[in-house]
Structure 1
């Protein structure tokens, strides 16, 4: 795998973009791949995670960079020369500023928290992706398995012009806990269901 670029995008805030980005990054690291994170979100959550990771581990084990929306293409081109995987975290909005991050992506990953509101918010991202001739992948996040809402959202998501992944991330405290510690769920002290969820997502994206 050389220079794979994954852009995580979603119009609605709180969908779990940063959670998804960091857990994928840690997963790729554990596969022995080199990773760079590119934060284009002014809120800077990904940068805070990186600094927390550096404080905890000393050596974070991955590269980190920030960029304005229109500097994305240049930054990605530079990072791809030095790492196996580039993961781009984007702001919670959909406008022309997002297009460079979509254009550079080999994979566009759209997290959808288990609600109809989040599902509706994907339309803008899907429209912009279409204009770039890209077909995004939708991953259900913060899912409460076995609920009626989960079933309804999954059924509706299957109708989108996107590939709905089988892998899901459930609503688990460990994702928030490890995020605040500068870690991923795969680095939690105890292996739990989140461990299997992240591995399943990685496998579906790359195998």
Structure 2
């Protein structure tokens, strides 16, 4: 049986959501953050040296990194067409946005979060430059959603599952407003209406209201 090792309020929500979309049976092992540091508990380090989530186990398999887990599960279990085929006209767009979340958006948010913790002056040039980079990244998502209902095109795909965490739960750690981005907000309403997303969020973080506005 597949087991998802899920750290509350983390990128591992992606894997729960993917399994719900695929109708894939799984067991869920919850881990809670340290209430002071907000870091993962040491139990996760006993599964993987980095001590971070998500991790999946299945028999002898131990696999970390949300992108790798997504590709592994899609390659073995994709019965919904969530991974676009190389023959699909939108295949290149799918690959770009599938990798955009952890290759661009999430790292920019991580840098912004660390800089905020330094309590720099608002006119600090490093802070200003990073704010500009993050703004350009969000602008790109907004532009993309102006001509497409979903990131890869007209159809929902795994690229959406990868990206949504950064637009929602990540705002617990890096508060920011999406009010300048009406297309992103409309997109999040489409995501929030998906039954699989609702089930995943309820199972992964019961009691947490998804940040869709």
TM-score when scaled to structure 1? 0.28
The higher-RCO structure (CA 8 Å, 6+ apart) is 1
Which of 1 and 2 has greater Rg?
Answer: 2
TM-score when scaled to structure 2? 0.27
The structure with the greater share of residues assigned to helix is 2
